[in-house]
Amino acid sequence: MSIKETVSAARSCWTTGDGAESDVVISSRVRVARNLAEFPFPHQLSDESAEQVIQAVSLAVNNTADQGIGILEMTGMGELTPVERQILVEKHLISPDLLENYKNKAVVLNNDESVSIMINEEDHLRLQCLLPGLQLHEAWHRLSSIDDVLEKTLDYAFDEKLGYLTACPTNVGTGIRASLMLHLPGLALVNQISGVLSTVSKLGFAVRGLYGEGTEATGNLFQISNQITLGQTEEDIIAGMVSVARQIIASERSARQALFKERREHMEDRVGRAWGILKHAGIVTSEEAMKLFSDLRLGRDLNIIDLIPPDLITELMIMTRPAFLLKMSGKDLSPFERDVQRAKLIREKLA
């Protein structure tokens, strides 16, 4: 898939609804930070040095062609429009940080968008693998193979005692961040979400909103990630994440079943109202859409409603974001016009 196709299509590898435990786990992501030994960290790079980093990574990417890891395509952030750059954020393929001083930055994507590499973000390289459902082990193995191939060409900054050297000290060591996007409406509705997430935080995991650090949880979607990268192996970190995830999954499913058993009429009414509003509303805000999508997803997972393909709601989450609406309309839209366009799009997709 070319970059122009990527920014024109809501569907991505992680939106398919496949993968284990997909009723609770929307996606699994593993990201590693790497830096080149001969260059300062990105916040100290000159424009000339930043371009040299891009060229070095480009050469390494070109050398992966015959390594059995698929086709990787590099695109300079300056080659994209502001809307197209924001769509990459909305699809979780890059971080918001890559939009700052974007002219000296680039992104590498593979065909199905399961792998992306951000160049000159906080570190010279941020390699990411994003898969549907609970697939952290699979994501790590895929990412590790790509990392190994790139390291044949690139000289990474590495210390025998500390491990991989990174711009932020909290990433030193393995440089790995493993995260899960979880849909937790059951725990939210039985007022247990704060207690569960507080416990997760005390265990050393970060809890964030839909788009990572500094963002709020909307639509009962939460991102949980490891905070420790030093003193543990990558496999230990992944195993710890999976263990915590399985406990959260069990708690969420228990809450859902209790709601369905004890408040079935209320749950059916809640899902029915969400379906009715989304099918017929003429104006829908972004925040309202996310709440209604959450109710609709819960209704599908509880078999209250079965008219919706498993991947459609996730794709709608992306399609109805501001940048994607602007891209599809082909013109600037006011906030009110976006709300009207969003409602129209949802009606069409659910028809």
Whether residue 29 is annotated as binding a ligand: the answer is yes
Whether residue 183 is annotated as binding a ligand: the answer is no
State the amino acid at position 298 in one-letter form. Answer: L
Whether residue 179 is annotated as binding a ligand: the answer is yes
- Can you tell me the distance from the alpha carbon of 351 to that of 347, in angstroms, rounded to the nearest whole number? 6
Whether residue 347 is annotated as binding a ligand: the answer is no
Q: Where do the domains of the chain lie?
A: 3-256, 263-350
CATH of domain 3-256: 3.30.590.10
Cα-trace Rg, the chain: 21
Per-residue pLDDT of the chain (351 residues; tens, 9 = 90+): 789 999 999 999 999 988 999 999 999 999 999 999 999 999 999 999 999 999 999 999 988 766 666 788 999 999 999 999 999 999 999 999 999 889 899 999 999 999 999 999 999 999 999 999 999 999 999 999 999 999 999 999 999 999 999 999 988 999 999 999 999 999 999 999 999 999 999 888 999 876 555 456 688 999 999 987 778 899 999 999 999 999 999 999 999 999 999 999 999 999 999 999 999 999 999 999 999 999 999 999 999 998 888 789 999 999 999 999 999 999 999 999 999 999 999 999 998
Reduce the DSSP state of residue 99 to 3 states and report it: helix
CA distances from 258 to 50, 128, 190, 244, 265 (A): 55, 37, 9, 21, 13
Whether residue 213 is annotated as binding a ligand: the answer is yes
Whether residue 196 is annotated as binding a ligand: the answer is no
Whether residue 76 is annotated as binding a ligand: the answer is no
Whether residue 2 is annotated as binding a ligand: the answer is no
- Can you tell me the distance from the alpha carbon of 115 to that of 201, in angstroms, rounded to the nearest whole number? 28
Which stretches within 132-232 are classed as H helix? 136-151, 185-189, 193-202
Whether residue 208 is annotated as binding a ligand: the answer is yes
Structure-token pair, residue 201:
């935080």
Residue closest to 227 by CA, chosen among 211, 244, 215: 244
33: enclosing H helix or E strand = strand 25-34
Whether residue 5 is annotated as binding a ligand: the answer is no
Residue 102: CB partners within 8 Å, gap ≥ 6? Answer: 77, 78, 85
